[in-house]
């Protein structure tokens, strides 16, 4: 590894302290280090390269934070294909490779042995406002939700060109397998291995008998149409600031052609991770 980037949690001082120590080690080993301008100022080391955007030719970006920080890092690397290695300073940390307590040993293994790469499906969303179209990407999920308190939003769902249902609900979550352990899971959706390519569509508190998730193959498009004449909605991709949707707006979602690449120090079974993160009792 010759060129590495670092991205920090926006608020946690311990992430800054840990990143500073790691960057010093990388610099001492002859590794060039880049950080976004604000992160470089917080780290405060003379050898670091401050940049307004992550270079596309880095070998690795090391992320100090929880899953939210890693999702922000995924946006920062865009379509470059630079692998992300997460160090967990959050809670569950499903996307992180290392806990803080594992960092010293993990850094040694990284520098001595390198890493392997695990590719994750990404959602591409096309938001049609009628007079303009926005495009978004998401590693975890895209959520269309109600705005008015006490009122459901009505969303027509079309999958693979076939109209399925019109849900009156608090919202609809369209998730990747990676995002299946996030908000979709909290709304009653299934846990899906990231080694399966699919799209998970989960209603949030729907009014009606059909209140289950739908699993969609990656070659079929999902369309959500905001129905009704007066109820607006909001759209959020990977927890980024919400976009306002007016009645009549349509959101078309599909599996992206490119992937987000996560760096792993060693292969780890996904179901072991599920067991550990959710503190499940495996029995005998």
The per-residue DSSP string of 198-258 comes to -EEEEEES-SSS----EEE-TTS-EEEEEESSS--EEEEETTPPPEEE-TT-EEEEEEEEE
Q: Given the structure tokens 């010093």, which residue do they identify?
A: 24
pLDDT exceeds 70 at position 284: no
Q: Which residues of 239-249 are buried (b: 16+ CB within 10 A; e: fewer)?
A: beeebebebeb
Max CA distance (Å), the chain: 62
SS3 content of the chain, % helix, strand, coil (to 5): 25, 40, 40
Q: Given the structure tokens 């009645």, which residue do they identify?
A: 247
In a domain, 284, yes or no: no
pLDDT exceeds 70 at position 245: yes
Report the distance separating Cα 169 and Cα 153, nearest Å: 6
In a domain, 282, yes or no: no
Q: Given the structure tokens 């880049």, which residue do they identify?
A: 34
Number of domains in the chain: 2
In a domain, 173, yes or no: yes
CATH number at residue 85: 3.40.50.10330
The pTM assigned to this predicted structure is 0.92
What are the φ/ψ torsions at residue 229 (nearest 5 degrees)? -100, -15
Q: How confident is the model at residue 134, as a pLDDT?
A: 94
**One domain, residues 91 and 129:** no
Report the distance separating Cα 166 and Cα 142, nearest Å: 18
In a domain, 195, yes or no: yes
**One domain, residues 139 and 237:** yes
Average pLDDT value for residue range 35-51: 94
Collapsing DSSP to helix, strand or coil, 75 comes out as: helix
**One domain, residues 92 and 193:** no
**One domain, residues 8 and 90:** yes
Tokens of 108: 């040694």
**One domain, residues 98 and 198:** no
Report the distance separating Cα 199 and Cα 93, nearest Å: 21
Q: How confident is the model at residue 155, as a pLDDT?
A: 96
Tokens of 28: 């001492």
> Per the residue annotation, which of 41, 57, 67, 219 is the catalytic one?
67
**One domain, residues 109 and 141:** no
Residue 67 designated active-site: yes
Q: pLDDT of 105-154, one tens digit each?
A: 998 899 888 999 999 999 999 999 989 999 999 999 999 999 988 889 99
pLDDT band, residue 34 (cuts 50/70/90): very high
Q: pLDDT of 191-203, one tens digit each?
A: 999 999 999 999 9
pLDDT exceeds 80 at position 90: no
Q: Residues of the chain with pLDDT > 90: what percent? A: 81
Query: What DSSP assignment string belongs to 199-212?
Result: EEEEEES-SSS---
Helix 103-113 vs helix 13-28: angle between axes, to the nearest 10 degrees? 30
In the DSSP assignment, the letter for residue 279 is T
**One domain, residues 91 and 108:** yes
**One domain, residues 155 and 101:** no
**One domain, residues 204 and 89:** no
Tokens of 103: 């960092």
In a domain, 66, yes or no: yes
Tally of residues, the chain: 284
Report the distance separating Cα 67 and Cα 64, nearest Å: 10
In a domain, 189, yes or no: yes
Give the containing element (helix H, strand E) for 272. helix 270-277
| Average pLDDT of every residue of the chain | 93
pLDDT exceeds 70 at position 64: yes
Average pLDDT value for residue range 88-94: 84
CATH number at residue 129: 2.60.200.30
**One domain, residues 227 and 272:** no
Distance from the Cα of residue 126 to its chain's centroid:
17
CA–CA distances in Å: residue 176 to residues 124, 192, 228:
11, 8, 28
Q: How confident is the model at residue 173, as a pLDDT?
A: 98
Average pLDDT value for residue range 158-164: 97
pLDDT band, residue 71 (cuts 50/70/90): very high
Report the distance separating Cα 200 and Cα 174, nearest Å: 6
Looking from the CA of 32 toward its CB, the CA atoms found within 13 Å total 11
| Domain residue limits at 231 | 122-256
Q: Residues of the chain with pLDDT > 70: what percent? A: 100
**One domain, residues 98 and 166:** no
**One domain, residues 137 and 61:** no
């Amino acid at each position: 590894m010759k060129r590495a980037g670092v991205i920090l949690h926006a608020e946690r001082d311990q992430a800054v302290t840990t990143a500073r120590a790691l960057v010093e080690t990388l610099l001492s080993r002859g590794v060039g280090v880049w950080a976004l301008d604000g992160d470089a100022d917080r780290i405060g080391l003379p050898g670091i390269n401050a940049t307004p955007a992550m270079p596309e030719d880095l070998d690795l970006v090391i992320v100090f934070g929880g899953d939210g920080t890693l999702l922000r890092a995924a946006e920062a690397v865009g379509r470059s294909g630079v692998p992300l290695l997460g160090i967990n300073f959050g809670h569950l940390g499903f996307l992180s490779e290392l806990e803080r307590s594992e960092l010293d040993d993990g850094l040694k293994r990284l520098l001595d042995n390198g890493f392997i790469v695990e590719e994750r499906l990404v959602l591409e969303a096309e938001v049609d406002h009628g007079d303009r179209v926005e495009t978004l990407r998401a590693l975890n999920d895209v959520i269309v939700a109600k705005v008015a308190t006490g009122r459901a939003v009505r969303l027509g769902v079309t999958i693979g060109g076939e109209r399925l249902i019109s849900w009156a609900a608090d919202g609809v979550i369209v998730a990747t397998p990676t995002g299946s352990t996030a908000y979709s899971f909290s709304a009653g959706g299934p846990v899906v291995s990231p080694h399966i390519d699919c799209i998970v569509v989960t209603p949030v508190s729907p009014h009606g008998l059909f209140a289950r998730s739908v699993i969609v193959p990656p070659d079929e498009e999902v369309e959500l149409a905001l129905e009704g004449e007066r109820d607006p909605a909001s759209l959020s991709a990977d927890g980024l600031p919400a976009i306002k949707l007016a009645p009549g707006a349509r959101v078309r979602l599909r599996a992206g052609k490119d992937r987000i690449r996560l760096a792993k120090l060693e292969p780890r079974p996904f179901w072991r991770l599920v067991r550990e993160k959710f503190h499940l009792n495996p029995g005998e």
